[in-house]
Structure 1
Amino acid sequence: MSKREERVDDIKRNVLTVRIARKELPDIGELVVGTVYRILEHGVYVLLDEYGGMEAYAPINEVVQSWFHEIKDYLRPGQKTVFRVIRVDARRRLVDVSLRKVREEEKKEKLTRWKRTLRGVKLLELVAKKLNIPLETALREFGWKLEDYYGDFLSIFENVVKYGPDDLRKLGLSDNVINAIVEVAKERIEAEPVEISGIIRMISIKPDGVKHVRDVLLKAMDLAKKEGADGIRIYTIGPPRYRVDIVGKDPKKLEQILKDVVNLVSTEIKKRGGEASFTRVGE
């Protein structure tokens, strides 16, 4: 095998072999991600990543901006970039694409979405392996349905980590599928920190009321830390109003911690002859 043939094989290995698009052929005008794998004098052959590596052709006049340039001034073998579909022959399964007809902002937006799509598909492939089914089957049976609901494949796993699997159950997925998705999400997705906040209004009419308020707030901070908050801040925004910010990666857990903090503050300050009320920030 020549070095050129080895290079072509390497390029093909970096293209998805599974069609993740729901239709077999792209539509005219559609933006597609293509991997350049063969450059000739008259044009470029690319592999369409979303269509399982389907071959498409970009004529030279749809690549170069002027006759003073060559195709190699714009594209290189193995490069992934965005093309616009300009012709489709469904009977012969031939697709022509254009590089020139893609605006820079369209390219950036499409490639950003593609990176998320690719990562999400890789995670879905791990789910399929856990279920011992091909990726194509996973896409047909639940992948595309989840993509419709969440917006893209990666959001499936991000939302499971952030909010749990309740939505998966509402969509009617089997326990085996839900468990596999949850396992992959926990293994591969790092939850982004979440912050919830509220305002506690606390009054003590005792001569040493300031000390009582401080002691109660310190107890509240200790409780939040013991219950697993990644961080908590309590600071005055003008006595007798104190803001509470609690940070963590599990929104449901944070809600419970905030509830426990408010209950502790209310109970403790009442024991000391004072009173407290709470208002959630953002509500």
Structure 2
Amino acid sequence: MPRLVSFDVDGTLIKSIGARANQLHREAFTAAFKQVFGIDTTIDVIPHHGSTDTLILVAVLVVHGIPKAEAMASLPALQQAMNSYFAANIDRAGDGLEVLPGVVDLLKALKEDTDFMTCLVTGNLEPIGWGKMQALGLSDLFSTPHFGGFGSDFCSGNTEETWRDRAEFIRLAAMKAAGQADGPITARFHIGDAPMDVQAAADAGAVPLGVTTGIYTKEQLLVAAPSATILEGLGDLFYESRYPEMDDVVMVQVKSIAEMGAYVSLLEYGGIEGMILLSELSRRRIRSVQKLIKVGRQEPVMVLRVDKEKGYIDLSKRRVNPEDVAKCEERFAKSRMVHSIMRHVAETCGVELDDLYSQVGWPLYRLYGHAYDAFRGMIPDPEPVLERLRTEVHSGETPAVLTPAVLDGILKNIKRRMTPQPIKIRADVEMTCFAYDGVEHIKGAMRAALAQSSEECEVSIKLVAPPLYVLTTQTLDKARGIEVLTAAVEACKASVEAQRGSLRVKEAARAVSEKEEKLLQEELEAAEAANREIAGDDESEEDFEEGMSVDVDAAPALAIITNAPTRCHVPVRRIDSTEIHECAMQTVCVSPSVGLRPVRSSGRSMMVCRAQAQPAQKRVALGGLVGAAVALPSLLATHPALALVDERLNGDGTGQILGINDASLFWVLAIVFGLVWAAYYNSQRDLGGDKGDDSGLTL
């Protein structure tokens, strides 16, 4: 059953910076006053921090002498004017705004946890609130479809107790969440930076969480809601030390780029500000700073200098080597996981995060090098870790903050978030075998690969599309999975190559992401769809062939008849029932069996020299071969039963030339074809087919 976390916007998730702080939102107010009432004014005529957009509209109009009732009645027109102006200038929605440290990580963690729903509860009008989130890249980190409570949803007109309207927003957001959730909302949390936020949360039945990222102090927030849990910010310390040491490699997020360099926030140290000087961005000549570093991107950097008194931290990007990058990213991922668990337990159990860290978190860092390793050790049995914490840190006593509820919350979060998940390992290979029993040999190679399976790593192999095969396995140990799958590929290769086949590793064994698996599944589905289409085509061909009944034994022999023109003075001789003439001839190819009309090819008669003539018997043979080559396709097309194919020619899918998978048969066909071509070429040369009209005597 889901839990709901709602966020205020200004001062909680984002803050205003520079001379153009929240500029577009302020301009929208001015445009609305001008358009609806013709008043040229700004919202600065009243104290507006922590109020809602609709209450600000009413309060400003009252200051300018507009009756409150008239101002309330004009709210729809004023809101429409504000939304229209904001939408028309949406490209400037992020001007003068900046995401606060820790916000992105928190929203990502909540997005990944299916137990939580997240939304906005803010005094902004709904299009303006989501417009800011979109401009700063935060909108996709909230539950979808987007919902929440906004200044455009309700307005009481009570400009003295603005928190009452916010309490109504929180209730409305809870109602919308219940409509989208699979079950009832079990717990509600509201995070804000103003006393009105925490007071409204307490009044609406939500757990109030205050952050001191705005203009209000911890004491002011506690006065408004004594039950509230107050955090210094959404980007708390990951480590006990407030500042990094020189030469440490730390993870930062780029906030802005200036002429001197880039301003960043140190994500592991409460979001404190640091600076990467321009000269420390790259070892090479800098042509474009924007190509080297971008606002919002997370970067590992090295600490050059730390001035704890003034709060100055100088950083370098160019001095970080690839090994340091890998270590920094791994440490940051572990620290973020630990911090997420600790903060979640503190919020749900109502304890101070500082107390939880000081009594549990920091001691585990000192005892185990990293609290992440201690948490991992608590998955099978938490007692050894807890016993060491009691005896070595707390003199045999259980830490006061570690109540049964807190301990239960820690263990549940550890098991849910840190229990190892099976990793899918995959290798892509191309395998072929053109031997006589190639398919059987490939099957044998696949069996050899499957034989490398073990209890913890079961190998499977799939055909994507010939010759591409995919080998996969799932395991908790990534290194072991890669080792097993590599051995399977080697066994498969050895087996198929022993049968004169080949195997090429297209992609070596590696861990694959969910996206890669989705792409593979799409390829398999596409191949299956293609196979279904081919099967349909085969079915049609079978139907066509079944409708043709040809008696092979009754098929008549091929007849080649050559007729000579009557105006020829060369003697005519008949050989093998075929008339041959030693002058230019007209040929007729007849196939009585198919009932085709004779086709006569006519040409100009030509007389050649007797010296060029060859024995008539030779030309008879050549004429017979040429005529047979012309007429044979027609006969076989009409009588498919004659086209009986030797089993050795059935080389479908072998990839060999002309599909012939028998070497001796190939050479026989090649020699026959060569002899026929040589005879045909000689006959053409002797008959003068390649020469002009003046070669010889013409009639």
TM-score by length of 2: 0.26
Distance 1:131 1:68, change over 3 A: closer
Structural mapping, 1:126-275, within 5 Å? 126-172=344-390, 173=398, 174-176=402-404, 177-191=406-420
Distance 1:57 1:147, change over 3 A: same
**Over residues 101-143 of structure 1, what are the superposed CA-to-partner deviations in whole Å (9 max), with x where a residue is unaligned?**
1111101111111111101210121222343113222111211
The answer to whether the Cα contact below 8 Å between 1:39 and 1:45 also exists between their aligned partners in 2 is yes
- Mind listing any 5+ residue stretches in structure 2 that lack a counterpart? 1-21, 23-91, 106-233, 391-397, 423-454, 457-475, 477-699
Residue 25 of structure 1 pairs with residue 243 of structure 2: yes
Point out the more displaced range, 6-15 or 160-169: 6-15
Residue 156 of structure 1: how far off its partner (Å) = 3.1
SS in 2 for 1:14: helix
SS in 1 for 2:99: helix
**Over residues 242-268 of structure 1, what are the superposed CA-to-partner deviations in whole Å (9 max), with x where a residue is unaligned?**
xxxxxxx9xxxxxxxxxxxxxxxxxxx
Distance 1:81 1:169, change over 3 A: same
**Over residues 200-234 of structure 1, what are the superposed CA-to-partner deviations in whole Å (9 max), with x where a residue is unaligned?**
xxxxxxxxxxxxxxxxxxxxxxxxxxxxxxx89xx
SS in 2 for 1:163: coil
The structure showing larger relative contact order (alpha-carbon pairs under 8 Å, at least 6 residues apart) is: 1
- Mind listing any 5+ residue stretches in structure 1 that lack a counterpart? 194-230, 233-248, 250-283
**Over residues 11-52 of structure 1, what are the superposed CA-to-partner deviations in whole Å (9 max), with x where a residue is unaligned?**
662265212222222222221111111012320000001110
The answer to whether the Cα contact below 8 Å between 2:265 and 2:273 also exists between their aligned partners in 1 is yes
The answer to whether the Cα contact below 8 Å between 1:31 and 1:85 also exists between their aligned partners in 2 is yes
Distance 1:9 1:167, change over 3 A: closer
Find the partner of 1:50 among 257, 268, 277.
268
Match of 1:104 in 2: 322
- Whole-Å Cα distance in 2 between the matches of residues 189 and 67 of structure 1? 43
**Over residues 127-186 of structure 1, what are the superposed CA-to-partner deviations in whole Å (9 max), with x where a residue is unaligned?**
223431132221112111112233323333322112333321342234534333223223
Distance 1:104 1:42, change over 3 A: same
TM-score by length of 1: 0.61
**Structure in which a larger fraction of residues adopt strand:** 1
SS in 1 for 2:379: helix
- Whole-Å Cα distance in 2 between the matches of residues 28 and 3 of structure 1? 38
Distance 1:62 1:132, change over 3 A: same
Match of 1:273 in 2: none
- Whole-Å Cα distance in 2 between the matches of residues 192 and 87 of structure 1? 40
Greater Rg by CA: 2
Point out the more displaced range, 109-118 or 165-174: 165-174
- Whole-Å Cα distance in 1 between the matches of residues 356 and 262 of structure 2? 33
Find the partner of 2:332 among 93, 114, 117.
114
Match of 2:676 in 1: none
- Whole-Å Cα distance in 2 between the matches of residues 153 and 78 of structure 1? 28
Residue 68 of structure 1: how far off its partner (Å) = 4.1
Match of 1:201 in 2: none
- Whole-Å Cα distance in 2 between the matches of residues 82 and 68 of structure 1? 19
Find the partner of 1:67 among 285, 288, 292.
285
- Whole-Å Cα distance in 2 between the matches of residues 192 and 17 of structure 1? 28
SS in 1 for 2:283: coil
Match of 1:93 in 2: 311
Tell me the C-alpha RMSD between the 2 structures. Answer: 2.7
SS in 2 for 1:44: strand
Residue 60 of structure 1: how far off its partner (Å) = 0.3
Find the partner of 2:301 among 80, 83, 104.
83
Distance 1:68 1:17, change over 3 A: closer
- Whole-Å Cα distance in 2 between the matches of residues 108 and 47 of structure 1? 20
- Whole-Å Cα distance in 2 between the matches of residues 165 and 131 of structure 1? 21
Residue 188 of structure 1: how far off its partner (Å) = 3.0
- Whole-Å Cα distance in 2 between the matches of residues 68 and 46 of structure 1? 19
- Whole-Å Cα distance in 1 between the matches of residues 366 and 260 of structure 2? 40
SS in 1 for 2:238: coil
What is the percent sequence identity of the aligned residues?
Answer: 22
Point out the more displaced range, 3-12 or 81-90: 3-12
